[in-house]
Structure 1
Amino acid sequence: MGFLKPFPIQEQTVPVILSGKDLMGIAQTGSGKTACFVMPILEKLQNEEVKKDRNIQVLVLAPTRELVIQIDEVFRAFTENLKREIRTMAVYGGVSINPQMKGMFGVEVLVATPGRLLDLIEHKALSISQITHLVIDEADKMFQLGFEEEMNKLFAMMPATKQTVLFSATLNDKVEEIKNRLTIDPVLVEVKPDEIDIDKITQLAYLVTEETKGPFLRYLIKEQNIKQALVFASSTRSADHLAEKLNKNKIPATAVHGKKSQGSRTGNLKEFKEGDTQILVATDLIGRGIHIESLAVVINYELPRSPLDYIHRIGRTGRALETGTAITLVTEADLQHFRVIQKKMGKKVQLLRTEEINLHGY
């Protein structure tokens, strides 16, 4: 699969999970954490007998549909050459529940969002009373995004004895709350964010006006011959409008955001990953769950609200062992906020002027 050596978080967590101990892994998005739990769990399962019932053995919980689909894809990629077939399945809301209910028999690894999982349990489609492994990905978000009540209901249905693995970008009060709620004392493995090298990302900023922002983006894509880029907008409306303008100017673009159906989001993402779409316009919520190998360019068409979101955005490129470029379009009104982002990041970004550029025809 192209892995030559384990990433730091994998090196430290895989042995702990293989040993059967509970684990709390703290690492940023894009540090290779999904493989940390996928590999050892599959290693254990392939040596066990096939179970043919509706009792799930491995439950992986994640906050967004995109992340659930992505984790399931990693499980499927790693199961291809095992001694025996291990059935995995992803379940999430926003699509019909019936196929999910029908497909549940014999599933050993279930990756789910909490709400849809509860719906399936209420429909008697499965049971989590005999799980042997529980994985909670992005645990820091799980209680913050209003999942608290759903999570508590699910915890009450699980057996007391199981291996629990938590992954989180930060160690905060909510994560402590989950630990206490599950009465676990996990091995703590932390890979500090500065180990994810922001220096591998070339950052550039261009000073534009509101009027020239759109034409300048199109100029940039065409003049710099940008083959593929993930472009961030601040709202669903802005993302749709931007994608529409790019398409009108013969730059193949599509938007992904929370207001699009799951089918359309998955399809758009697939087209982008396969290189059929040149520009993917995303909002912050969706941007967090997107993993694209070797994404060379990220463009901030509009600045995010928080400096942390800015780092998450540009972190979509320069992932794992790659290098990348992050471009930000800044208006006069954005300047103060952009200074704050640079200060928090601890890195100065060169601001280039654009008034001399002829944007006629863009």
Structure 2
Amino acid sequence: MIYCDISSFQPMEIYVDDEAKLTLHGLVQHYIKLSELEKNRKLNDLLDALDFNQVVIFVKSVSRAAELNKLLVECNFPSICIHSGMSQEERLTRYKGFKEGHKRILVATDLVGRGIDIERVNIVINYDMPDSADTYLHRVGRAGRFGTKGLAITFVSSASDSDVLNQVQERFEVDIKELPEQIDTSTYSMFLFMPSICF
């Protein structure tokens, strides 16, 4: 008979980290160093240049989500936002519309970081750095699901942002490089049919 000491066995922790590594290694990940004041211009440039089906942009607060979404709409980007300042009914209506492809850009707080599955999302942008490696994982895991390709871009604008980025790389054993001038579309983009897209 074989005896096993289960007191030191932590299957959930091992499982989660292994799954996380698989998720992150399947994504193209980059960061951009910039000041807080440069974020809006850089985001505008990225949305103009990148080839995406749908993109989720994560911010750190309800007010940031509302303000950034307003700015994107004013710049004629097909954007919608979801945050905790809305009723659950409103959030569900907006989520359903985004999932059905009526909008291509979703600005969201971490409320959306867990539990959403939208197969057309192939890019996640961390406009604001998440507060931990776990939150980073949940955010960028929204891209490249269902076996499709994905791209994650993170804005780094402070020393604390750099610390979180380092934590992500160490914990999940990934090497996240600065965004190059040119990025090969085939590494993150896969065409998916988008019904009723609003431009």
Answer yes or no: is 1:235 the counterpart of 2:61: yes
Q: Within 5 Å, give how 1:188-337 maps onto structure 2.
A: 192-195=16-19, 196-333=22-159, 334-337=161-164
Code of the aligned partner of 1:261: S
**Cα contact 1:307–1:341 (8 A) shared by 2:** yes
Deviation at 1:197, TM superposition (A): 3.4
Supply the AA of the counterpart residue of 2:165.
F
Aligned residues: 168
Q: CA offset at residue 171 of structure 1?
A: 4.3
Distance in 1 between the 2:162 and 2:112 partners?
26
Segments of 5+ residues of structure 1 without an aligned counterpart are 1-169, 173-189, 355-362
Q: Shift of residue 297 of structure 1?
A: 0.7
Structure 2 CA distance for aligned equivalents of residues 193 and 353 of structure 1: 28
Distance 1:352 1:258, change over 3 A: same
Whole-angstrom distance in 1 between the partners of 2:167 and 2:77:
33
What TM-score does the superposition give when structure 1 sets the normalisation length?
0.43
Pick the aligned partner of 1:349 from 172, 176, 181: 176
In structure 2, do the counterparts of structure 1 residues 211 and 192 end up closer, same or farther at CA, with 3 Å as the change threshold?
Answer: closer
Question: Which of 325-334 and 248-257 deviates more?
Answer: 325-334
CA 1:192 to 1:263, structure 2 compared with 1: closer, same or farther past 3 Å? closer
2:178 alignment partner, SS class: strand
What SS does the aligned partner of 2:165 have?
helix
Q: TM-score, normalised on structure 2?
A: 0.76
Between structure 1 and structure 2, the one with the greater Rg is 1
Matched residue, 1:23: none
Secondary structure of the structure 2 residue equivalent to 1:288: coil
Question: Within 2, Cα distance between the matches of 1:352 and 1:222?
Answer: 15
Unaligned 5+ runs, structure 2: 1-10, 182-199
Q: Secondary structure at the match of 1:296?
A: strand
- Indicate conservation of the 8 Å contact 1:203/1:350, yes or no: yes
Instruction: Quote the offset at 1:292 in angstroms.
Output: 0.7
Q: Please give the alpha-carbon distance, in whole angstroms, between the structure 1 residues aligned to 2:16 and 2:60.
A: 28
Give the secondary-structure state (helix, strand or coil) at the position aligned to 2:103: coil
Deviation of the 1:353 alpha carbon: 7.5
**Gap change, CA 1:322 and 1:226, over 3 Å in 2:** closer
Over the aligned positions, Cα root-mean-square deviation in angstroms equals 2.2
SS at match of 2:113: helix
Q: 1:258 touches 1:286 (CA, 8 Å); kept in 2?
A: no
Alpha carbons 1:203, 1:326 under 8 Å: kept: yes
State the distance in 2 between where 1:197 and 1:280 align: 21
CA distance in 1, matches of 2:38, 2:138: 26
Q: Of the two structures, which has the highest relative contact order with CA contacts closer than 8 Å and spacing of 6 or more?
A: 2
Distance in 2 separating the partners of 1:265 and 1:243: 15
Q: Distance in 1 between matches of 2:89 and 2:142?
A: 23
Q: Which AA in structure 2 matches 1:242? A: L
Runs of 4+ in 1 over 6 A off after TM superposition: none
Name the structure 2 match of 1:161: none
Shift of 1:319: 2.1
